[in-house]
Structure 1
Amino acid sequence: MSAALTLAKPEHLDKITTLAAAFHAEEGIEMPDEARRAGLAPLLNGIPHGAAYLIGPPRAPIGYIVVCFGWSVEFGGLDAIIDELFIRPGVRGRGIATETLMSLPRALAGAGLRAIHLEVDSGNEAAVKLYKRAGFVTRDRYMFMSKTL
């Protein structure tokens, strides 16, 4: 099975919303489907702040990844955060997430991206191992913090 990536477009909204609902249920993220769709739709409509990709065949995707763009003085330019990454449970363990995490940053670097970041539950050993295998490192003295507005 391949981690072929397809830039998600408006016609993929139903598919990616279904995948996101599965991810959110798995992670205990509670939100109405309308809010989920409202968070995804602008990414599929081409806003410059981020992008969503379907993983696997677009007609029957096996996962998705969302990246959101920003700017970093420290990293010298355009950076991104992997906001969500989900692979259907039935196809996990086949290297699909690793392949995605290796290929997407390389492709984005070609477009000028200088760094890519992500947040992970430090207790999720499988995810930490996956991200380390894909070249992500923990930054000493730093932790990701949030404030909801």
Structure 2
Amino acid sequence: MTAALRLARPEDLDRVTALVEAFHAETGLAQTDEERRAAVAPLLDGIPHGCVYLIGPARAPLGYVVITFGWSVEFGGMDAFVDEIYIRPAIRRRGIAGEVLTELPKALARGGIKALHLEVDGDDTSAQRLYQRAGFQGRDRYMLMSRKL
């Protein structure tokens, strides 16, 4: 099985939002279809703030990853955040997410990204191990904090 990545385009909106809906249902994130489409569509239209990659075959993707872009003085330039990564439950634990998290940073670095960040549930030791194997490290002195506006 391959974790080939393909940049999602506007014509992939239904395919991507179906995967996002499945991920959000699994993790308990409440969002209407309208909100979901409004959040995803600009990423597919090419706004400079992020992008969506479909994982695997174009007709039947295995999952997706959303990358958002920012700027970091600490890291010396443009940085990115893995906003969401999702692999269909039936094909998990086959190394697909690990492959994505190993190859995607290489491509992003070639594009000038200086650092790639992600957030993980503090109780999800399985996900933490996956991310550590892909080279991500916790930052003991820091904790991600959010404020919804």
Is the TM value for this pair above 0.5? yes
Q: Which residue of 2 aligns with 1:62?
A: 62
Q: Secondary structure at the match of 1:59?
A: coil
Q: Which residue of 2 aligns with 1:126?
A: 126
Write out the 4+ residue segments of structure 1 that deviate beyond 4 Å after TM superposition.
none
CA RMSD of aligned residues (A): 0.5
Deviations 1:77-129 (A, max 9, x none): 00001000000000001000000001111001001000000001010111111
Q: Which residue of 1 aligns with 2:48?
A: 48
TM-score, normalised to structure 1's length? 0.99
Q: Which residue of 2 aligns with 1:86?
A: 86
Alignment of 1:1-149 (within 5 A): 1-149=1-149
Q: C-alpha distance in 2, partners of 1:40/1:11?
A: 12
Q: How many residues align?
A: 149
Percent identity among equivalent residues?
A: 62
Q: Shift in Å at residue 58 of structure 1? A: 1.1
Runs of 5+ consecutive residues of structure 2 not aligned to the other structure: none
Deviations 1:12-49 (A, max 9, x none): 00001000000001110011011001000000000000
Runs of 5+ consecutive residues of structure 1 not aligned to the other structure: none
TM-score, normalised to structure 2's length? 0.99
